[in-house]
């Protein structure tokens, strides 16, 4: 336990020493605070329509302006951060759960089990993921829950391959042979000995996966088949910006900047995590 605690402290020390990763983590922390405590940052009801304030430019009363229905853009952006974070983390969690199970069992059992599971992974990879998501959403209907589930169910193949490769290497190590000699069952070997040691590349994938899920949700909402109005998301705010871009620039700039900064933050943090867990990259 003490060795594990020391290892975590060393990992955090290396991660925080990376300035770009620390900056990315600070950006993510900022948007997480917005998502967790939206009422502390909103000045108005995000769904309150005011026809007398349609498409007002940024001002003291409305720091980020108003939209085509007179709703406060800042309040909708703050609430949209919660939607984006929920979709990003839940969808990535679903993908991780499926990918971990597939990768662990494919790598541990090998043979026909490995061949069958990996051929299924190959089949899934043959489909362009975004068009597969569009088709499924069109069939099941757009909603926040459906978006999270569909993104998660179509993005697990990468982590499955990562975990399979790690498992194939780890199951030949001495500590696994020792556990088998002591009579440990399959579940204990897989989940107690192999899984913790296979998590390093999964952490990197998860960090980048959240960014990809946020981008996918924004694209779906922009197309009108993601999060449905009046629930605000950065993607459907961008849709209003597209329709009024000639005279309401703020509807495109602010949600676009939020998506850019958030995804960049996760990507920088992911790079930092990769360097912190991979000794070969620390001296670059």
Categorise residue 70: left if φ over 0, alpha if ψ from -120 to 50, beta otherwise. left
pTM: 0.88
What's the confidence (pLDDT) of residue 2? 43
| Span 47-68, average pLDDT | 90
The Cβ of residue 132 has, within 10 Å, a number of other Cβ atoms equal to 15
What's the confidence (pLDDT) of residue 126? 87
Helix/strand/coil (H, E, C) string of 55-112? CCCCCCCCCCCECCCCCEHHHHHHHHHHHHHHHHHHHHHHHHHHHHHHHHHHHHHCHH
What's the confidence (pLDDT) of residue 161? 93
Rounded Cα distance between 66 and 43, Å, is: 12
What's the confidence (pLDDT) of residue 280? 55
What's the confidence (pLDDT) of residue 282? 52
Residue 49 is assigned to a structural domain of this protein? no
Is residue 147 a contact partner of residue 219, using CB atoms and an 8 Å limit? no
Residue 59 is assigned to a structural domain of this protein? no
Is residue 263 a contact partner of residue 214, using CB atoms and an 8 Å limit? yes
Give the model's confidence band at 42: pLDDT under 50 very low, under 70 low, under 90 confident, else very high: confident
Residue 52 is assigned to a structural domain of this protein? no
The Cβ of residue 32 has, within 10 Å, a number of other Cβ atoms equal to 14
Provide DSSP, 131-185.
HHHHHHHHHH---HHHHHHHHHHTS-HHHHHHHHHHHHHHTTSHHHHHHHHTT--
Among 2-16, 46-60, 145-159, 257-271, whose mean pLDDT is lowest? 2-16
| Span 186-215, average pLDDT | 87
Range of the domain at 226: 11-36+73-281
Rounded Cα distance between 201 and 213, Å, is: 18
pLDDT > 70 fraction of the chain, expressed in percent and rounded: 95
| Span 220-230, average pLDDT | 85
| Span 45-66, average pLDDT | 90
Residue 136 is assigned to a structural domain of this protein? yes
| Span 163-183, average pLDDT | 84
How many domains does the chain fold into?
1
Residue 23 is assigned to a structural domain of this protein? yes
What's the confidence (pLDDT) of residue 6? 57
For residue 224, pLDDT over 90 is answered with no
Q: If we measure between CA atoms, which residue out of 95, 110, 97 comes closest to residue 170?
A: 110
Residue 247 is assigned to a structural domain of this protein? yes
Tokens representing residue 32 in the block: 């997480």
| Span 172-178, average pLDDT | 81
Is residue 218 a contact partner of residue 259, using CB atoms and an 8 Å limit? yes
Tokens representing residue 21 in the block: 């990763």
Is residue 72 a contact partner of residue 92, using CB atoms and an 8 Å limit? no
Residue 222 is assigned to a structural domain of this protein? yes
Residue 120 is assigned to a structural domain of this protein? yes
Give 88's contacts (C-beta < 8 A, 6+ positions apart): 210, 211, 213, 214, 217, 266
For residue 102, pLDDT over 90 is answered with yes
| Span 161-176, average pLDDT | 87
CATH of residue 236's domain is: 1.10.3720.10
**Mean pLDDT, the chain, whole residue set:** 86
Is residue 186 a contact partner of residue 237, using CB atoms and an 8 Å limit? no
Is residue 111 a contact partner of residue 67, using CB atoms and an 8 Å limit? no
What's the confidence (pLDDT) of residue 3? 44
Tokens representing residue 158 in the block: 């990468």
For residue 165, pLDDT over 60 is answered with yes
What's the confidence (pLDDT) of residue 117? 93
What's the confidence (pLDDT) of residue 144? 86
Give the model's confidence band at 278: pLDDT under 50 very low, under 70 low, under 90 confident, else very high: low
For residue 8, pLDDT over 80 is answered with no
Tokens representing residue 267 in the block: 């990507």
For residue 1, pLDDT over 50 is answered with no
């Amino acid at each position: 336990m003490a060795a594990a605690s020391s290892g975590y402290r060393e990992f955090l020390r290396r991660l925080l020493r990376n300035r770009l990763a620390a900056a990315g983590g600070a950006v993510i922390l900022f948007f997480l605070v917005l998502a967790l405590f939206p009422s502390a940052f909103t000045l108005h009801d995000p769904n309150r329509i005011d026809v007398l304030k349609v498409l007002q430019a940024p001002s003291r009363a409305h720091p980020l302006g108003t939209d085509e229905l007179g709703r406060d853009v800042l309040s909708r952006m703050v609430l949209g951060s919660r939607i984006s974070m929920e979709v990003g983390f839940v969808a990535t969690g679903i993908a991780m759960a499926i990918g971990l199970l597939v990768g662990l069992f494919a790598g541990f059992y090998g043979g026909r089990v490995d061949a069958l599971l990996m051929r299924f992974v190959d089949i899934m990879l043959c489909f362009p993921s975004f068009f597969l998501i569009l088709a499924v959403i069109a069939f099941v209907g757009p909603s926040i829950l459906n978006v999270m589930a569909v993104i998660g169910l179509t993005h697990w193949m990468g982590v499955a391959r990562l975990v399979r490769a790690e498992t194939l290497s780890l199951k030949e190590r001495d500590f696994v042979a020792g556990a088998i000699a002591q009579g440990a069952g399959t579940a204990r070997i897989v989940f107690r000995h192999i899984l913790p040691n296979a998590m390093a590349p999964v952490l990197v994938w998860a960090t980048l996966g959240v960014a990809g899920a946020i981008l996918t949700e924004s694209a779906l909402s922009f197309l009108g088949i993601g999060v449905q109005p009046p629930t605000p998301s950065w993607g459907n705010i961008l849709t209003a910006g597209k329709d009024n871009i000639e005279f309401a620039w703020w509807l495109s700039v602010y949600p676009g900047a939020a998506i850019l900064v958030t995804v960049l933050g996760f990507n920088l943090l992911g790079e930092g995590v990769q360097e912190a867990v991979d000794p070969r990259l620390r001296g670059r």
